Chain A
Amino acid sequence: MNAIPAIRTKAEQDLGAVFASAGPRLPGGRRIAAARAAAFQAFAAAGLPHRRLEAWKYTDLRRLMRDAKPLAAAPDAVARAQAGQATGLFSGLGFRRLLVVDGVFVADQSDLSDLEPGLEIRAMRDLLAADVADLAPGPGSVVPEGEPMLALNAALAGDGVQIRLAPGTRLARPIHLAFRVTAGVPAAMFTRSAFEIGAGGSATLLETFEGPDGSDYQVNAVLDLRVGDDARLDHVRLIGEGDAALHVGTAVAEIGARAAVNAVSLTCGGGLVRSQAFVTLAGADTRAAMSGASLLGGRQHADTTLVIAHAAPGSESRETFKAVVDGAARSAFQGRITVRQAAQQTDARMMARALLLSEAAEAHSKPELEIFADDVQCGHGATVGALDEQLKFYLMARGIPAPEAEALLIQAFVGEVIDAVADDGIREALTKATAAWLRARG
């Protein structure tokens, strides 16, 4: 039933117009231009993803995306400076901040001083213009053929940041890749970033997505992650987009042997959020921990879709996803663990938990295991429930008023995810973001 839709939606027509008008001006030589054209063709053939596609079952973008915005104009000097001066949860932590404003990497508002030896930071637009960027997923990736939003990103990505660490480089100072949208006309931003850690290297990467409330801007951000053998990556992502924003984030990761990856995400903003990650544990004896929490209210919709493939023996993966859903919000979690035949002694576990705070709140979980090896330990579980009234009474019996008791229990529920963050400063900031969400809930 995945035939080409006969009728194009308004958003699909808009995207066609955007590609026709903006496409020729996007950075890229001949090779990139051809890749963009092919990618757009692949997208156009399938159209926006819809609920009849299993991977998009809970997020019918074809229905939910009413229009497609024109590409954002490059921010002017004032907007750049304002975005550069804005302070946030992570100000003052001393991280190396790289600022992407309205989809454009702004070098003059980024901290590019005293680059550690072995660290390379470049604007993706330069790599595209030089025709050397790679827009297609690597050969070992588990991205489904023709993944529509990734294809759309390949067609329209204008900029982003490429960060590379030479083998053996151990960065003490975390890198903060900050995506900020200014309060301009609602527009679309397609960014493509890459983070590569050479063998034996280690780094902490923080990504934040923020923008103004009330603006229905659209973000399609792709991160290409390569973690070399024996390398270590701590990755934290905060999706704090404006309340009317559409955010589609895709991470494609390939992880080498004996590497350690600890990824934590917190989604507390955005009107419609789809976070998808396609992770390949390509090398043996790798440890990957991925956890995330969504804090949703109003009419927010957040979908986390994770595909993790064990391709080599002896790796361990842990996924923990939690959703706190209030109002008429909707959370979806899809997680698939694939264990290839070669991946004996795989140890993989996945857990999805949702806490519903209102009658109208919805949570969907769909964990899947696909196992082709015979000597493995795999497990998954999912729970959906309301706040525990017994625990709430216990707190109230000690004098804690009902709203505060609920806030404590919710913070504790989310705490398991946030506590997985290794960096103290980031952990405290995420705890603050959770507390702010709880306060706003009232």
Chain B
Amino acid sequence: MTALLEIRNLRAEIGGREILDGLDLTVAAGEVHAIMGPNGAGKSTLSYVLAGKPGYTITGGEIWFKGEDLTAMAADERAAKGLFLAFQYPLEIPGVATLTFLRAALNAQRRQRGEPELSSPDLLKRVREIAKTLNIDAEMLRRPLNVGFSGGEKKRNETLQMALLEPALCVLDETDSGLDIDALKVVANGVNQLRAPDRGMIVITHYQRLLDHIVPDVVHVLASGRIVETGGKDLALQLEARGYAQYQSEAA
């Protein structure tokens, strides 16, 4: 069986600076992988390279997603194929109402997959159902996307998008940053509801505390652009206790 995501010996740079240096990672459907590591290890770069952000150059290696070469696809095609990046810092888009954005995103994906567009009433119904589980009120949906939202609201909004778009692979980039414990619980709960046998997740985080709420199957340590250690969920606890110093010295 092909893995959902297979990254082999990935090298990537931005502005001539190499950030990923031979990264290997395989995620099967149904699995939740945590990627932990010190600042500057390449965690966010990995998420951007997966999502197809312009400016990052892949200088070596391969990325296979559902058996297809991910690197050949534009960002929107990757999303339509089922890859979702929950941004560490979701962007504010003045003038675009949240609901308008959700409709544009969902229907663009459906069109690319050759599926019929969802009617406005059907979309509204689904959005409202999901919004309720995330404590997002209707007023927020009418507001311009993320404009004036608190950190928690932005992350809940990311989770709402993820739930609506039903991706095959969720990449959560530092979803815990900027969240207090209550907001963290709401978001983690939302993410946990999306765990499914046909869905994989990569949870990128600096701190262990998120993993108390989203319990991973596998934990990787990313340092200096490579996976340097892989273990079970206990590895996260060990890292919390001992820090990342040993990996940084190794790299240096």
Contact = CB atoms under 8 A, between A and B. Distances in A.
Interface of A: 389-391, 393-402, 404-405, 408-409, 411-413, 415-416
A402 B74 contact: yes
B104 A400 contact: yes
Contacts of B54: 389, 393
Contacts of A401: 74, 76, 108, 112
Given A397-B87, A411-B96, 16 more contacts: A390-B91, A394-B87, A394-B93, A396-B74, A397-B53, A398-B105, A398-B165, A399-B79, A399-B109, A400-B104, A402-B76, A409-B93, A409-B96, A412-B95, A413-B95, A416-B95
Interface residues of B, number: 30
A390 B101 CA distance: 16
Interface of B: 51-54, 74-76, 78-80, 84-85, 87, 90-91, 93-96, 100-101, 104-106, 108-109, 112, 144, 161, 165
Contacts of B74: 396, 401-402
Contact of B108 (A389, A404, A413): A404
18 contacts: A393-B75, A394-B90, A395-B104, A397-B53, A397-B76, A397-B79, A398-B79, A398-B101, A398-B161, A399-B76, A399-B105, A401-B74, A401-B76, A408-B93, A408-B104, A411-B96, A412-B94, A413-B95
Given A412-B95, A416-B95, A397 B85 contact: yes
Given A389-B54, A397-B85, A400-B104, A412 B75 contact: no
B93 A391 contact: yes
Contacts of B95: 411-413, 415-416
Contacts of A412: 93-96, 144
B43 to A, nearest CB: 17
B96 A399 contact: no
Tell me whether chain A's interface is mostly helix, strand or loop, or mixed. Answer: helix
A405 B101 CA distance: 10
B41 to A, nearest CB: 22
Contacts of A396: 52, 74-76, 79
B93 A399 contact: no
Nearest to B146: A394
A393 B79 CA distance: 11
7 interchain residue pairs of minimum CB distance = A412-B95, A399-B79, A399-B109, A398-B105, A396-B75, A415-B95, A394-B91
B80 A399 contact: yes
B157 to A, nearest CB: 11
B51 A397 contact: yes
A405 B90 CA distance: 16
B74 to A, nearest CB: 7
Given A398-B105, A402-B76, A408 B96 contact: yes
Contacts of A389: 54
Contact of A397 (B75, B93, B104, B112): B75
B91 A399 contact: no
B60 to A, nearest CB: 23
Contacts of B90: 394
A398, A401, A409 interface centre (most CB from chain B within 10 Å): A398
B111 to A, nearest CB: 9
Contacts of A400: 76, 104-105, 108
A396 B101 CA distance: 11
Contacts of A408: 93, 96, 100-101, 104
A401 B77 CA distance: 8
Contacts of A415: 95
Nearest to A401: B76
Nearest to A415: B95
A398 B91 CA distance: 12
A385 to B, nearest CB: 14
